[in-house]
Structure 1
Amino acid sequence: MLCVLEFNVQSVQTYCLVGLISVTAACLRYLLMTGTYYIIVCQLFDRKFRKYKINPDRVSGGVVQKEMSWALLNNLNYAILATATYGLYERGWLKLYFDWHEYGTLYGLLVILVLLLAHDAYFFWAHYLMHREPFRRISHHWVHHQFHNVTPWSAFSVHPIEGFVELLFRPVLLMLIPTHPYTLVAFAILSFGLNIIGHSGYEFFPKNFATSPLTKFSSCATYHYLHHRNSNCNFALFFNFWDRIMGSMAPDYASFYAATRGRVDSADRAESYSAKAASRGFASRER
């Protein structure tokens, strides 16, 4: 009996440690990566980069605090999912491997792309459903849509219920795809970096990004900004394949991008970001 009790205590301690490490790492990733981007782009070089800001209106400190609060609260989901994932690992249900040479470097790199594509598909359909009843009400997706003029801090700034749904695919993928921890870390950093860029409110990509055959299927800050302007379009995260297939891509995406990147005069640009803001009431409709 004492041996069983000691084993259970050790097991609980291990799970608690896994959860603590995971939530700490998630919070540090959020604060360091988002904070670095925010300090450099929005503070130190504000004047230099202001011409790249999609909506030139300034965001108040109170809004930024709300973005940070929701995001940090949402990071608690990492503790929950990490302990659950560790439980799956203990039972041998995950396809994690630790010898990098077992599958080779090419495989390890290709898996990052596979994870991005799988994440994008999962996110699109989860996000798409969150804009429809009853999932809209259950997920509390209005929390994310209360931020119209987004900042880097709004990345992952969602209600914890929505955040849990968004993270749920990760242990499932680890049960299906052989993955090395190095690949997993690279994916976690890359995916969150793209999330920050998408929510940054600044468009630094080339002027032909929205129309070039090499990049037009990718998402960007302008692409996601249009979703916050009009919540009935642009549900994708990294790519826009699914929006194109479902007919949910903003029809003015290319022209809006051109206006944002300075291809038209400032008056037309001002018109472009203020016009057609038909779905500003998303948050109010939810509450």
Structure 2
Amino acid sequence: MTDWLHDILSAMSSPGPWRSFRHVFAVSFMEDGKYYLLSALIIWGLLHVLLRRRLAHRVIGGWPTVADLRREITYSISTLCVITALNAGVLALAVSGVVEVYAEPLKHGLPWLLLSLPLMIVWHDFYFYWTHRLLHTGWLFRRVHGVHHRSRNPSPWAAFSFHPAEALVDSLVLPIALFAVPLNEYVVLAFAIHQIVRNTHGHAAVESMPRGFVRHWLGGRFVTTTHHHLHHETGRGNYGLWFTWWDRWCGTEREDYFERFDKATAPRPCA
């Protein structure tokens, strides 16, 4: 078992519920925050700072402003608090035996260990697409999801820039899955890291995929930074998270997606 998770579970088994919760919250916040901070810093530092001039021709809409960065980081801290509190609840359920997060990798067999992560990613994509569509309706968009859409030209820090209510809805994807199936602790960790890295990259405002990627039979199945950036520009279409299939099956993929991707990946103009 990972040391930090063992530390949390031990704390939750000790007397004093409030003391246990504070300890669990602090450790979990630092762990979740560490991965988010590293991912956002690396992607932002590379694409927006170190390679800013070299990649200027790959900027999809425009660079985010300083005000955008401040707002996104502030809401990201709020989102991390929501995620951490929910994680504490999930771990409490695990300690009480209501859900199962197991340490022994082969407890439920090698096939399940290998399949559980890709299945969780597919489930996450399904869950996000439909909750995202719901959040684009009336009051929910104006009062809740609109916070995220204040980033017309998002940065990697926009990945967690949510209203607390939306942060809660998005974070329920793991607890819902755990009520249905057991998951190995390393699968849970890999699932969290995958969504953090791909989410920060998806809000980078700079297209890093090669030219022609979206027209490839395999590459075209994946959501690119351009795909999600176009959603931020207008607030319509391109609702998918990891894959493009729900947008294509439901007719919600933007018609200008290929054109805008081609523009963002055009060869760098000669000096």
Same fold (TM over 0.5): yes
Q: Tell me the equivalent position of 2:132.
A: 127
Q: Tell me the equivalent position of 2:244.
A: 240
Check conservation: 2:226, 2:261, Cα contact below 8 A: yes
Q: Tell me the equivalent position of 1:227.
A: 231
Check conservation: 1:19, 1:78, Cα contact below 8 A: no
Any idea what SS the aligned residue of 2:183 has? coil
Task: Return structure 1 stretches of 4+ with deviation > 3 angstroms.
Answer: 103-107, 263-266
Any idea what SS the aligned residue of 1:224 has? helix
Q: Tell me the equivalent position of 1:111.
A: 116
Q: Tell me the equivalent position of 2:105.
A: 100
Q: Which moved more, 1:257-266 or 1:81-90?
A: 257-266
**What is the alpha-carbon distance in structure 2 between the residues aligned to residue 122 and residue 130 of structure 1?**
12
Q: Which moved more, 1:233-242 or 1:14-23?
A: 14-23
Question: Is 1:157 matched up with 2:161?
Answer: yes
Deviation at 1:27? 2.0
**Matches of residues 1-287 of structure 1 in structure 2 within 5 Å?**
9-55=15-61, 57-137=62-142, 140-262=144-266
Deviation at 1:15? 2.4
Per-residue CA deviations over 1:247-274 (Å, capped at 9, x if unaligned) read 11101111221121117989xxxxxxxx
Which structure has more RCO (C-alpha within 8 Å, separation ≥ 6)? 2
Unaligned runs of at least 5 residues, structure 1: 1-6, 267-287
Any idea what SS the aligned residue of 2:16 has? helix
Check conservation: 2:63, 2:205, Cα contact below 8 A: no
User: Cα–Cα, structure 1 residues 263 and 33, in superposed 2: closer, same or farther, change >3 Å?
Assistant: closer
Q: Tell me the equivalent position of 2:9.
A: none
**What is the alpha-carbon distance in structure 2 between the residues aligned to residue 30 and residue 191 of structure 1?**
10
**Structure whose CA Rg is larger:** 1
Per-residue CA deviations over 1:175-218 (Å, capped at 9, x if unaligned) read 21221111111111111111011100111112122111112121
Check conservation: 1:95, 1:176, Cα contact below 8 A: no
Aligned alpha-carbon RMSD (Å): 2.1
Check conservation: 2:68, 2:154, Cα contact below 8 A: no
Check conservation: 2:14, 2:20, Cα contact below 8 A: no
Aligned length: 258
User: Under a length normalisation based on structure 1, what TM-score does the superposition of the two structures give?
Assistant: 0.84
Deviation at 1:99? 0.8
**What is the alpha-carbon distance in structure 1 between the residues aligned to residue 189 and residue 233 of structure 2?**
33
Amino acid at match of 2:36: Y
Any idea what SS the aligned residue of 2:21 has? helix
Amino acid at match of 2:27: I
Any idea what SS the aligned residue of 1:101 has? coil
Amino acid at match of 2:174: R
User: Under a length normalisation based on structure 2, what TM-score does the superposition of the two structures give?
Assistant: 0.88
